[in-house]
Amino acid sequence: MELWQQMIRDSVHTVDQLVEKFGLDHKVAQELDGFFQARINPYYLSLIRYPGDPIWLQCVPDKKELEDFDAEEDPLMEDAMSPVPNITHRYPDRALFLVTSQCGIYCRFCTRKRKVGDHEKISMKGLESAFKYLEEHTEIRDVILSGGDPLMLTDAMLEKILQRLRQIPHIEIIRLGSKMPCVLPQRITPKLVNMLKKYHPIYCNTHFNHPWEITPESSKACQMMADAGIPMGNQMVIMKGVNDDPAVVKELVQKLLKIRVRPYYMYMADETKGANHFRTSVETGLKILEALRGHTSGLAVPHFVIDAPGGGGKIPLVPNYVLHHDEEKIILRNYQNKIYTYKNYADKNNPEGFGTKVKKNGKNGKIKKEEFKPRRIVKVPVLEEV
């Protein structure tokens, strides 16, 4: 048995352990276990500095989870967009492939609480129909392995899946959606990365939410993946009491770049049953983004998105930097709130926007620019500073 597997076995997961280690009421602990089980491995448990800290909030069950009576179990409608078991096909050329129900820890804000931890909801029996679907749908060029966490599979099982995917000619990119580099970095071994690099191009999106999660162990894990040619991205969720502070996020994204993990997405928390006590206002996210843009490297600035309820996909949000927009000019503000004017041009090839159409004169071959009045003028109201 490998070290990471032993650490999974040694995790806090029973009602009695929750009562003993975290002082939960026994009845509440039982109700929480019936709703969404706990798993806190020894490594991640060791990162807790005090009760209620940003690490504690992410992994220790809370009675607030039982108060979301009206919230949706599947706000992103993943199940409705699942043509066969284990596959969610929302975007034209990408598919989500759920390969396991197990995780290194069970995050209390998980958007897939309805499935994660339940082997009957994400079953190995569904793999064959999933492979057949991917083979038949030639528009799919990008497959994201998720679950649960695909790195909860043994190296041998994961390699079987990768081999099969690489036999499908139209699949160009394989992505791993794994929190293991953050929550159980002992899973990232030389044996694993040597196996993974045989199936390039492989990318990995991981999930750090707080600077305290960047430790010598997690840094080594991410660097091993990067050294194996696996580009690393991070998907952070804004959560109350965890990272809803611009200074915390700035520290996080700068530290991520040092270990070769590119900040990729910063999400608003999903409207998931049992997780709504983590949610913040959209203005909080915009404030964080304003504190990053221009104040640190562009490499450190993630896309700020809402994964739209009802299966609408990821929708980006940005602070309002455009103050006015018409056929002659665009008035902009920068990160210091200084105002700048940029000359605009028209484009007959783009009647909904602005620009210049270039014509070539057939007689003398000269280039001629023609400006025109566009169909509409766009005036963007100035928002209050957030």
* Structural contact between residues 301 and 284, judged by C-beta atoms closer than 8 angstroms: no
Q: Which residues are annotated as a binding site?
A: 103, 107, 110
Catalytic residue among 63, 94, 348, 357: 94
Is 307 known to be catalytic? Answer: yes
Backbone angles phi, psi at 214, to 5 degrees: -90, 100
Helix, strand, coil distribution of the chain in percent, nearest 5:
35, 20, 45
List the Cα angle 236/241/242 in 5-degree steps: 30
- Beta bridge partners, 174, equal 143, 202
Which residue type is seen at 225? M
Q: Which residues are annotated as a binding site for [4Fe-4S] cluster?
A: 103, 107, 110
Residue 27 is encoded by which pair of tokens?
A: 């009845």
Catalytic residue among 43, 62, 103, 113: 103
Is 68 known to be catalytic? Answer: no
Is 314 known to be catalytic? Answer: yes
* Structural contact between residues 110 and 78, judged by C-beta atoms closer than 8 angstroms: no
Can you tell me the distance from the alpha carbon of 382 to that of 386, in angstroms, rounded to the nearest whole number? 12
Span between the terminal Cα atoms of the chain, in Å: 51
Backbone angles phi, psi at 323, to 5 degrees: -95, -30
Catalytic residue among 39, 59, 108, 110: 110
Catalytic residue among 62, 149, 244, 307: 307
Is 112 known to be catalytic? Answer: yes
Could you write out the DSSP letters of every residue in 240-280?
TTTT-SHHHHHHHHHHHHHTTEEEEEEEEPP-BTT-GGG--
Residue 349 is encoded by which pair of tokens?
A: 């090839």
User: Which residues, 6+ apart, have CB-to-CB distance to 27 below 8 Å?
Assistant: none
Is 91 known to be catalytic? Answer: yes
Catalytic residue among 62, 149, 244, 270: 270
- From 18, 95, 8, select the one nearest 61 (Cα to Cα): 18
* Structural contact between residues 367 and 311, judged by C-beta atoms closer than 8 angstroms: no
Length of the chain: 386
Is 114 known to be catalytic? Answer: no
Catalytic residue among 25, 64, 79, 91: 91
**Cα torsion 45, 49, 54, 57: sign:** positive
Can you tell me the distance from the alpha carbon of 280 to that of 236, in angstroms, rounded to the nearest whole number? 14
What's the Cα-to-Cα distance from 144 to each of 87, 114, 115, 298, 322, rounded to whole Å? 10, 20, 17, 26, 35
Catalytic residue among 59, 107, 204, 222: 107
Give the active site residues.
90-91, 94, 103, 107, 110, 112, 270, 307, 314
